[in-house]
Amino acid sequence: MKTALNPVNSNSLASVFTDFKEITKARLAISVVFSSIAGYLLGTYEIELMSLLLLGFGGYCMVGASNAYNQVIERDLDALMNRTRNRPVASGRMSVNSAILIAAIMTVLGVVSLYYLSPKTAMFGAISIFLYTCVYTPLKTKTPLAVFVGAFPGAIPFMLGWVAATNDFGIEPGTLFMIQFFWQFPHFWALGWILDDDYNKAGFKLLPTGKKDKGTALQIIMYTFWMIIISVIPAFGITGRLHLSLPAAVLVLMMGLVMLYFAFRLFERRDNKTARGLMIASVSYITLIQITYVVDKFLY
């Protein structure tokens, strides 16, 4: 005889799962895990399923913990913005203590998982949480330099995968770090441009000039340019085991030029529609070049 599910319990479980996804920013965490796995595939000599699982689990935990800590610290500010007022802690659906407990458990699980891969992997993961939570988050209401600081933990995932595969930090993971570091600026400033009015409600100072002006757009162009340069450098054979074939380098260059095109359009038009186009282009870019790097490694 089948027993019907209690609709109240079913709804409660669904609500808990939804809040967990929101407190950990599941979509962002999954994109970080994707970057880490791409870095691992680039660095490894032999793919080990257990290592991939540990990296994916540990990476999700570290990002999820950072986001949970962030939402505890910024709960009052989140409540002021349309984009964030419905987050679990800001809305009151989840208590501060519950969110801290989730963050603490995920921190421990993440560090242990990454340490099992290698001590250096765990160290970089812990540094990422510290910079995001203790430096970037408090600076967001004080100075646009917060974006510069936030670019460091944001750039770690691609590099982290290589370190997890090799337990070594050299020019190869350093190059992966620099690609994602320079990418952070056009990506985040495009998002900041779109959400500037909402961010201002909470006192966040995220655009480099504080305004949606030509100065901000010019800096977006500059960082996009350097991102393109760094992303094709492996084609010149000066980045150790990290290299690109000529066809892959041309493809990466073309994708970068698409982003640069949107950056120049933003300089000319300075509107939210163009900024949204740049943001979409940036998300596509970082995903596609990581796929290109990995496919190129196994084809050539």
Angle between the N-to-C axes of helices 49-73 and 119-130, in degrees from 0 to 180, rounded to the nearest 10: 20
Which pair of structure tokens corresponds to residue 108?
Answer: 């421990």
Given 109, 136, 165, the domain boundary residue is: 165
How many domains, in total, are found in the chain?
2
The pLDDT tens digits of the residues spanning 168-218 come to 899 999 999 999 999 999 999 999 999 999 999 888 888 999 899 999 999
For residue 93, give its domain range: 11-165
In the chain, which residues have pLDDT < 50? 1-3, 5, 8
User: What's the CATH number where 104 sits?
Assistant: 1.10.357.140
pLDDT for residue 7? 55
Please check whether residue 197 lies inside any domain of the structure.
Answer: yes
Same domain assignment for residues 160 and 182? no
Burial 159-177 (b: 16+ CB within 10 A, else e): bbbbbbbbeebeebbebbb
Please check whether residue 1 lies inside any domain of the structure.
Answer: no
Contacts of 107 (CB under 8 A, 6+ apart): 61, 62, 65, 129
Please check whether residue 16 lies inside any domain of the structure.
Answer: yes
d(CA 257, CA 260): 5
The pLDDT tens digits of the residues spanning 55-71 come to 999 999 999 999 999 99
Please check whether residue 4 lies inside any domain of the structure.
Answer: no
pTM of the complete model: 0.90
Same domain assignment for residues 73 and 115? yes
Please check whether residue 26 lies inside any domain of the structure.
Answer: yes
Given 131, 165, 199, the domain boundary residue is: 165
Given 124, 148, 165, the domain boundary residue is: 165
